[in-house]
């Protein structure tokens, strides 16, 4: 990381950017006094759904500001969800080659905007800035139109084939947040949690004996996890949630017959496999696809999900300590 050179001093603007309820924190990571290339991190909280981002700069210690052209900023500028940290790279030399000074103040602003499904969405996932596409599907009937993320949470790209490893994504235990346990190589622990938030990123295993059925990572059942956009441990972006059983079923029924049905869907479902509740090992990667819904079955302590392999596809009930894919849907 480059040191901020004294004669190109960057002051921080924090708070007051959002006039009503929002807050912002801006951090300058580095700057180059000759080229003006400046690394900026920011994070913000707000109530609305997505925002367009802009930046301004002052050369008189914050008394007046000038807009930084979008063309001189690298990073997400449209449809950014509250959260962070997010990163921008500013080409100061291109913006204001004649007006650099030693009293430079950078201000980040956000304007609430209407999101249209089909556009990209930038959000914070597992502490990192990510940008996913979105897909609108009309199922007709009672379900109607639904907007989905274009990939499983944690995936690097949209699936190009059923066995595209870059598209597999992470494997969540039902009801847990994006605390790191969903990483396919996360460590394991056999200590169950007695709270909704375990406070660590280990995958919680449960010994395979009758007394431990129905094999939940939580030591006492909680059916209220993952319920809606405000649900406890919802791992999806603000305004998005884990789909309910009927939404996953509508997607299943839309697939063409045969083994290619899931990958031929507009949502490009890969065969991401699952993670065993008993030892945390990966199972059926490249042969099965398994996806959680937020719907639970109180009678036996399991939760519902979608499974597909070959020409088989069905909604079933699964142990909550198993690790399965999550695909978010807009509320």
* CB atoms closer than 10 angstroms to residue 177: 18
Q: What is the largest CA-CA distance in the chain?
A: 75
Q: How does residue 175 score in pLDDT terms, banded at 50, 70 and 90? A: very high
Q: How does residue 47 score in pLDDT terms, banded at 50, 70 and 90? A: confident
Residue 37 · residue 91 · CB < 8 Å: yes
Give the H or E element holding residue 112: strand 104-113
Tell me what pLDDT residue 313 has: 97
Tell me what pLDDT residue 102 has: 52
Domain with CATH 2.60.40 in the chain: 6-113
Average pLDDT for 116-129:
96
Residue 242 · residue 230 · CB < 8 Å: no
pLDDT in tens, 127-152: 999 999 999 999 999 999 999 999 99
Reduced DSSP (H G I as helix, E B as strand, rest coil) percent helix, strand, coil of the chain, to 5: 10, 35, 55
Q: Shortest CA distance to 323 belongs to which of 274, 278, 288, 287?
A: 274
pTM assigned to the model? 0.91
Average pLDDT for 36-63:
86
Give the H or E element holding residue 84: strand 83-91
Place of tokens 């198993």: 322
Please provide the average confidence, as pLDDT, over all residues in the chain: 89
70 SS3 class: helix
Cβ neighbors of 240 (< 8 A, separation 6 or more) are: 149, 229, 328, 329, 330, 331
Rounded CA-CA distance 254/69 in Å is: 44
* CB atoms closer than 10 angstroms to residue 231: 16
Average pLDDT for 199-210:
95
| CATH classification code of 6-113 | 2.60.40
Backbone angles phi, psi at 173, to 5 degrees: -80, 140
Average pLDDT for 222-244:
96
* Listed ranges 43-57, 153-167, 211-225; the one with the highest mean pLDDT: 153-167
Q: How does residue 11 score in pLDDT terms, banded at 50, 70 and 90? A: very low
Q: How does residue 330 score in pLDDT terms, banded at 50, 70 and 90? A: very high
């Amino acid at each position: 990381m480059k040191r901020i050179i004294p004669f190109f001093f960057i002051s921080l603007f924090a708070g007051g950017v959002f006039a009503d309820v929002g807050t912002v924190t801006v951090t300058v990571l580095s700057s180059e006094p000759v080229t003006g290339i400046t690394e900026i991190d920011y994070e913000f909280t707000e109530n609305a759904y997505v925002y367009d981002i802009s930046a301004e700069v002052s050369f008189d210690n914050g008394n007046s500001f000038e807009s930084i052209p979008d063309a001189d900023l690298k990073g997400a500028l449209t449809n950014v969800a509250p959260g962070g940290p997010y990163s921008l790279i500013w080409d100061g030399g291109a913006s204001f080659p004649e007006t650099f000074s030693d009293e430079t103040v950078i201000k980040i602003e956000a304007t609430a905007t209407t999101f249209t499904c089909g556009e990209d969405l930038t959000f914070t996932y597992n502490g990192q800035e990510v940008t996913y596409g979105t897909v609108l599907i009309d199922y007709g009937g009672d379900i109607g139109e639904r907007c989905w993320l274009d990939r499983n949470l944690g995936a690097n790209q949209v699936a190009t084939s059923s066995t595209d490893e870059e598209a597999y994504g992470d494997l969540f235990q039902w009801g847990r947040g994006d605390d790191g346990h969903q990483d396919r190589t996360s460590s394991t622990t056999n200590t169950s949690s007695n709270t909704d938030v375990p406070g660590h990123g280990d995958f919680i295993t449960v010994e395979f004996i009758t007394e431990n059925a129905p094999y939940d990572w939580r030591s006492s059942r909680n059916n209220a996890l993952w319920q809606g956009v405000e649900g406890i441990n919802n791992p999806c972006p603000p305004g998005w949630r884990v789909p309910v059983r009927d939404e996953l079923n509508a997607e299943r029924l839309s697939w063409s017959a045969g083994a290619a049905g899931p990958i031929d869907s507009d949502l490009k479902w890969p065969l991401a496999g699952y993670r065993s509740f008993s030892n945390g090992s990966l199972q059926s990667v490249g042969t099965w696809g398994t996806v959680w819904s937020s719907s639970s079955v109180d009678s036996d302590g399991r939760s519902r999900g979608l499974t597909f392999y070959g020409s088989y596809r069905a909604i079933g009930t699964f142990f909550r300590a198993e690790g399965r894919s999550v695909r978010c849907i807009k509320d």
